[in-house]
Chains A and B, each alone.
Chain A
Amino acid sequence: MSAPLLQLDKTSIRFGGLMAVSELDLQIGEHELVGLIGPNGAGKTTVFNLITGVYQPTGGAITFHSHSTARLKPFQLAQHGIARTFQNIRLFASMSVFDNVRAAVQLHRVHGFRNALWRGRSFRHGEQKVETHVMELLEIFDLGKLRDEPAKGLPYGKQRRLEIVRALATGPKLLLLDEPAAGMNPTEKSELSKLIQFIKDKYQIAVLLVEHDMQVVMGICQRIAVLDYGIKIAEGTPAEIRANPKVIAAYLGEEHVSDGK
């Protein structure tokens, strides 16, 4: 296999006395769907924040496309091809559905400030292209009819979907999904599972999925890493993870072996 798309090499981050993530090794190959699971507070979202540049690691290194991501700002990493969704939905609340996605196409526009002022042919042409692209994305995710609705007025499931569309609009090579199934009912969850696989195949991107719902994670991930107290305790195929005693212990608690009868 060639060099992985994303590589975390003994990455650590310490907040004061708390080691939030400790010497984490993780690799994600191109077009791979990897799950990251672990009990609450295990450091999953912190890993996301490390990968997307919100936090700088206090130890170890992160390489994306064989380039170090150190000192790159989140927006630069987004431009390099890392997109994410958020655990607590963070849509642009005052904008319409269409504009939410349009804002994310930003980095691929060729027409800028001067074109916007002059409003000449190149501007109209550029805006036309953006519109077609945005509408294509919205149609694929069945949000086309809602294009002029305010984003904050959408039902919860659709907001989650819109967040994924928005992340895809940046044209990523790696998509990080932070608990996309949170608050969804079983039907929505199975739809989401299909959607994630569909995205991965259609856009040929890698996906890192943080999720609590085991059905979703076990169902679609090719590989799963398990985090507990900031330490990776297991990694393997869904079947391996399911049978791993350490994982079971982390999730269900240690079995107390009593001496006496």
Chain B
Amino acid sequence: MFFARPRIWLLVTLVVSGVLGLFQSRIDPYYVDVLMRIGINITLAVSLNLINGHTGQFSLGHAGFMAVGAYTTAAMTMFLGPKIFPTDAPTMILMLWFLIALLAGGLVAAAAGVLVGAPSLRLKGDYLAIVTLGFGQIIAVVFRNIEPLGGALGLNGIPAYTNLFWVFATAALTTYVITAMVNSTYGRGFIATHDDEVAAEAMGINTTRCKIVAFVIGAFFAGIAGGLYGHFTLTINPKGFDFTRSIEIVVMVIVGGMGNTVGVIFAAVLLTLLPEGLRMLAGFSPSLHWIGESRPLLYSILLIGLMLLRPQGLFSFRKSVKVKV
């Protein structure tokens, strides 16, 4: 379905997100909040899927890229923006500046992607996972020690620029770019790198380059997602981008099925709704209160069960990929 008319799909989703953005004020704030989280999580999960799923480089540092993007974007809208034009500038200009800030956040995160991608040329599997994990920790420590960016307290009072349009347009663009890229002769290089590096090299595929490109593009979109996240929660601090956040995104990719973009999107939606559903369930009667408190436990049980019963991912139904040009 997607592969036949990808550009139409992109257009449709962009229009839908535009409509969502226009009518945001009519939607219950709670649902807006949930929808925002869903959209941001889709962007994060789909972009991580390029690194972990398609290219097979196990990264545990996605929250780190997100942090880089969030801080860069927030710094630009909070500190740099007001110096260039007055704070009561027309919305149009503010939004344009927000777009520029988001792109800058993505680019800085992409630069961090090169840094993390470089060691991945020598490391594989668990070892790479440890390095990316370390990267995430280092990013958190670095931001904790940059006083102008709020140190451990983080940044507060970030302008509320993010709306449903931004969030879903980003999710749609991310999905489009990554799917279009992978579903091409060029994109087979990523999957070949994932399947067998030695054979891929012998077939003339520059696996080094494939891995770096995957890290850079994945990090770019994670950075933008971070920027959106900051201008949605209005406050960011280093703790919000720690190891557990990275794990959350990895879980979405695993639940959706490595390398299965549609599945990963479903998983991002499902795993964002899950805590909300549990909270709702707990609210029904006092006898169900324990559900709300045992969320981490239920989450873990779900993961264990999933790994035992469906290691290929919840939404992977077929493995062979049909080729349409």
Residues of chain A having any CB pair with chain B under 8 Å:
52, 54, 73-75, 78-79, 83-84, 86, 90-96, 98-99, 102-107, 109, 111-113, 115-117, 119, 123-124, 126-128, 130-131, 148-150, 166-167, 169-170
Alpha-carbon gap, A93 to B319, bound state (A): 11
Is B280 an interface position by the 8 A CB rule? no
Contacts of B207 in A (CB 8 A): 75
**Inter-chain contact A105/B201, CB cutoff 8 Å:** no
**Inter-chain contact B191/A106, CB cutoff 8 Å:** no
Contacts of B181 in A (CB 8 A): 113, 116-117
Residue total for B at the interface (Cβ-Cβ under 8 A): 35
Picked from A84, A98, A109, A149, the residue with its CB within 8 Å of the CB of B202 is A84
**Inter-chain contact A75/B185, CB cutoff 8 Å:** no
What are 17 A-to-B residue pairs whose CB atoms are below 8 Å? A83-B203, A90-B196, A91-B195, A92-B191, A92-B199, A95-B195, A96-B320, A99-B188, A99-B321, A106-B185, A106-B203, A107-B203, A117-B181, A119-B6, A119-B7, A126-B185, A131-B323
Q: A54-B198, A90-B199, A117-B181 are in contact. Are A106 and B189 (CB under 8 A)?
A: yes
Interface centre among B7, B203, B259, B322, by most chain A C-beta atoms within 10 angstroms, is B203
Chain A at the B interface: SS class: helix
Contacts of B188 in A (CB 8 A): 95, 99, 102-103, 106
B184-209 residues at the A interface, CB under 8 angstroms: 184-189, 191-192, 194-196, 198-207
Q: Please, which residue of chain A has its CB at the minimum distance from the CB of B188?
A: A103
Q: Please, which residue of chain A has its CB at the minimum distance from the CB of B259?
A: A94
**Inter-chain contact A104/B323, CB cutoff 8 Å:** no
**Inter-chain contact A149/B320, CB cutoff 8 Å:** yes
Alpha-carbon gap, A176 to B295, bound state (A): 57
Alpha-carbon gap, A74 to B207, bound state (A): 10
Q: Nearest Cβ distance between residue A127 and chain B, in whole angstroms?
A: 4
Residues of chain B having any CB pair with chain A under 8 Å:
6-7, 177, 180-181, 183-189, 191-192, 194-196, 198-207, 213, 259, 319-323, 325
Q: Nearest Cβ distance between residue B184 and chain A, in whole angstroms?
A: 4
Alpha-carbon gap, A237 to B191, bound state (A): 43
**Inter-chain contact B184/A127, CB cutoff 8 Å:** yes
**Inter-chain contact B202/A74, CB cutoff 8 Å:** yes
Picked from A79, A99, A124, A150, the residue with its CB within 8 Å of the CB of B325 is A124
Alpha-carbon gap, A78 to B203, bound state (A): 6
Contacts of A73 in B (CB 8 A): 201, 206
**Inter-chain contact A107/B204, CB cutoff 8 Å:** yes
**Inter-chain contact B321/A117, CB cutoff 8 Å:** no
Picked from B186, B191, B194, B198, the residue with its CB within 8 Å of the CB of A111 is B186
Contacts of B192 in A (CB 8 A): 92, 95, 103, 106
Alpha-carbon gap, A49 to B310, bound state (A): 39
